[in-house]
Amino acid sequence: MQETNRRPVRIANFSGYYGDRYSAFDEVMAGDPVDVLMGDYLAEITLASMSPLYTKDSSKGYITYFLRQIRPHLAALAERGLKVVTNAGAFNPEALANALREAIAEAGVTLQVAHVEGDNLQPRLAELRASGQLLENLDTGEPLSSWGAEPISAHAYLGGWGIATALREGADIVVCGRVTDASLTAGPAAWWHEWGTEDWDRLAGAVVAGHIIECGPHAVGGNFSGFTGIPGAHRPGFPIAEVAADGSSVITKHGRDLGAVTVDTVTAQLVYEIQGPRYLNPDVTVHLDTVRLSQAGPDRVRVTGTTGSPPPPTTKVALFAPIGHQIVLTVYLTGLDIEEKYELLRSQIRDQVAGPGVDELDVSIIGTVAADPQSQWEATVPVRIMATAREREPLEYANFAGRIGGLFLCSVPGFYYDTGAQRVTGPQPRIEYWPGLLPMAAVEHEVVLADGRRIAVAPPAVTQLPEGRPVHAEPDPYAWTGATERAPLGRVAHARSGDKGGNSNVGIWAADPAAWPWLRCALSTDELRRMVPEAKDLDIVRHEFPQLHAVHFVLRGLLGTGGSSNLRADQVGKAVGEYIRTRVMDIPVELLARREA
């Protein structure tokens, strides 16, 4: 290990998803000194939306606005010696790498660009299946051959060693496709500290740091249930991970930016989009139940205690296939008798548009009318109408929206469209997701350098099958001897929810550590079924994170087969946690008083 690299590496995030704040790159470049800039653009639903477009035009397939974000800063990147790592390469990392080289040449600076290949398995899919690879579904265990849909894209989740290799070979900008989100941090940390491939605890610590900062403003107070206590919540900045040589880290932010980094904002991201205490990564298995958080100063949270073990022998493959078309339309109801109006309208809509060719039709009322409305809008609720069909024709405007429009004179009073909104132009492709499994040894992970050299990245030499599903026993009944009061759970607890394929995960943790003994016992699986009636028939997996004062649930199948194809308005489960916080429980008065003090 070089003496100059014994200090922590400072890795700053500038994007948490495709569509994040465009000015983020400018903000980070104007912020505190860092060593590496990391941008995450890919989510499962992003790959789903890009799949049909890439199928039509394979010459692009990358995140074009990343190129616009970075272009004004090329000279400053070269002058400061900053590294940039991103998965903005999406379906075509090579094309983005070439476009960057052209922009660098135009800017008259010297920056080396490398890209990582091997995640795109679509060209090899027939070969892999012919060789006996079943690409079993991660959730059901069924082979890909049972799907009944023909994939148009298939991307394996790569680890961080390709990134580390590219940086070691002198790359200044590393363009990736579908690496794991955390690999965008773990790869630079492994390069900086010259870790070995079996430094499990160090790698696990870097993966945790990467998981915390991968979603940008999340760790700085964005999308946080305690947002009312966040200064400058209207524009939280982007996080920085200071990853030390032992794998521990400090999560912070740029001093000039708004927002806050606290134990709670970091906990919110730690329990987000996980499947339990074992966080599987292509480079290491992370034991999240060993992670400890502590406030190390203003906007500084120390992350310690993370342990790791060998990675599993397989990696996830995100496969997407078109399964037809879908259309969504919103109309509005106003006034008294809303339930009766909704029931009549729903039956009329079903008569109008249901029939041959329409596979599924969902008509859902969203919200309720205020008891004593002080404006027309407080007396109004939206009704969301979504339909799917194998063929496009049944969902064309005249056959769908036009028929619903034909109800205006014969339906209920107070029923209307928003005539100022853009008119529905027609159905969109419906893309289904299949999370497959593939041995990592079958993935051809490669780094392509600026001079054309190709360096193969070997699969891990040591792997370990994941343990059985780690589920804590249901808590013993908890008899609180003091007085209780009926109140929303959110009075004493925070929550964060997200998606992993068709599963929704929800982490709920005590806003005050004193509430943890009550919370862990009160939030049984049966209680969650009461709180979330739509999950009453689902397989629910419960875990506990005592170090984080958190209970974690996986609601298997709540999101159908994935966020790109279910019929929910909250397709990727981002609001499930906030819904649970509204549910009323018998909460100890003592705990409520502590929060209000």
pLDDT digits (tens, 9 = 90+) for 162-185: 999 999 999 999 999 999 999 999
Percent of all residues in the chain with a pLDDT value above 70, rounded to a whole number? 97
Which two structure tokens, joined as six digits, stand for 112? 């080396």
Banded pLDDT at 31 (limits 50, 70, 90): very high
Question: How far apart, in Å, are the Cα atoms of 43 and each of 86, 150, 180, 528?
Answer: 13, 21, 10, 27
Of 228-237, 393-402, 478-487, minimum mean pLDDT range? 478-487
Which two structure tokens, joined as six digits, stand for 319? 């496969």
The mean per-residue pLDDT over the stretch 323-329 comes to 94
Angle of helix 263-270 relative to helix 200-213, nearest 10 degrees, comes to 100
The mean per-residue pLDDT over the stretch 529-552 comes to 95
What pLDDT is recorded for position 565? 86
Q: Count other Cβ atoms within 10 Å, centred on residue 16.
A: 26
Banded pLDDT at 223 (limits 50, 70, 90): very high
Maximum separation of any 2 CA atoms in the chain, in Å? 79
For 354-376, letters b (16+ CB in 10 Å) and e give eeeebeebebebeeebeeeeeee
Banded pLDDT at 473 (limits 50, 70, 90): low
Query: Over the chain, what is the mean pLDDT?
Result: 94
Alpha carbon dihedral 537, 543, 546, 548, in 10-degree steps, equals: -80
Identify the H or E element spanning 556.
strand 550-556
Under 8 Å between Cβ of 152 and 479? no
Banded pLDDT at 4 (limits 50, 70, 90): very low
pLDDT digits (tens, 9 = 90+) for 263-309: 999 999 999 999 999 999 999 999 999 999 999 999 999 999 999 99
Distance CA 219, CA 253 (A): 9
Identify the H or E element spanning 338.
helix 338-353
Cα radius of gyration (the chain): 25
The mean per-residue pLDDT over the stretch 543-572 comes to 92
What pLDDT is recorded for position 398? 81
Question: For the purposes of burial, counting CB atoms within 10 Å of the CB of 442, is it exposed (0-12), middle (13-18) or buried (19 or more)?
Answer: middle
Alpha carbon dihedral 140, 144, 147, 149, in 10-degree steps, equals: 150
What pLDDT is recorded for position 53? 78
In whole angstroms, what separates CA 424 from the centre of its chain? 28
Tell me the CA end-to-end span of the chain in Å, nearest whole number. 50
Give the residue from 182, 193, 230 showing the smallest Cα distance to 38.
182
The mean per-residue pLDDT over the stretch 369-398 comes to 94
Distance CA 86, CA 499 (A): 22
Distance CA 124, CA 127 (A): 5
* Contacting residues for 158 by C-beta, under 8 A, at least 6 apart: 116, 118, 119, 176, 177, 178, 179, 180, 183, 282, 315, 443, 445
In whole angstroms, what separates CA 321 from the centre of its chain? 20
The mean per-residue pLDDT over the stretch 433-456 comes to 97
Half-sphere exposure of 508 (CA within 13 A, CB side): 32
Q: Is the pTM of this model over 0.85?
A: yes
Of 355-359, 399-403, 466-470, minimum mean pLDDT range? 466-470
Angle of helix 200-213 relative to helix 183-193, nearest 10 degrees, comes to 140
What pLDDT is recorded for position 539? 94
Which amino acid appears at position 591 of this protein? Answer: L
Asked if the model's pLDDT at residue 475 lies above 50, the reply is yes
Distance CA 445, CA 455 (A): 9
The mean per-residue pLDDT over the stretch 103-130 comes to 97
Distance CA 36, CA 83 (A): 5
Which amino acid appears at position 102 of this protein? Answer: E
Q: Count other Cβ atoms within 10 Å, centred on residue 168.
A: 15
Of 51-65, 76-90, 248-262, 369-383, minimum mean pLDDT range? 51-65
* Contacting residues for 41 by C-beta, under 8 A, at least 6 apart: 15, 17, 18, 20, 63, 66, 86, 87, 88, 90
**Helix and strand totals (H; E) in the chain:** 16, 25
Asked if the model's pLDDT at residue 205 lies above 60, the reply is yes
Under 8 Å between Cβ of 19 and 69? no
Banded pLDDT at 56 (limits 50, 70, 90): confident
Which two structure tokens, joined as six digits, stand for 308? 């790791």
pLDDT digits (tens, 9 = 90+) for 121-168: 999 999 999 999 999 999 999 999 999 999 999 999 999 999 999 999
Q: Output the DSSP codes for 155-184.
A: EE-B-SHHHHHHHHTT-SEEE-SSB-TTHH
Which two structure tokens, joined as six digits, stand for 573? 């489960």
Banded pLDDT at 469 (limits 50, 70, 90): low
Banded pLDDT at 356 (limits 50, 70, 90): confident
Distance CA 240, CA 217 (A): 10
What pLDDT is recorded for position 424? 63
Asked if the model's pLDDT at residue 394 lies above 70, the reply is yes
What pLDDT is recorded for position 468? 61
Distance CA 319, CA 287 (A): 27
Backbone angles phi, psi at 182, to 5 degrees: -70, -20
What pLDDT is recorded for position 479? 63
Asked if the model's pLDDT at residue 3 lies above 50, the reply is no
Banded pLDDT at 1 (limits 50, 70, 90): very low
Asked if the model's pLDDT at residue 404 lies above 50, the reply is yes
What pLDDT is recorded for position 236? 97
Q: Is 399 helix (H, G, I), strand (E, B) or coil?
A: helix
What pLDDT is recorded for position 254? 98
Question: How far apart, in Å, are the Cα atoms of 519 and each of 475, 514, 515?
Answer: 10, 9, 6
Of 47-61, 222-236, 359-373, 496-510, minimum mean pLDDT range? 47-61
Backbone angles phi, psi at 440, to 5 degrees: -65, -25
Distance CA 230, CA 234 (A): 9
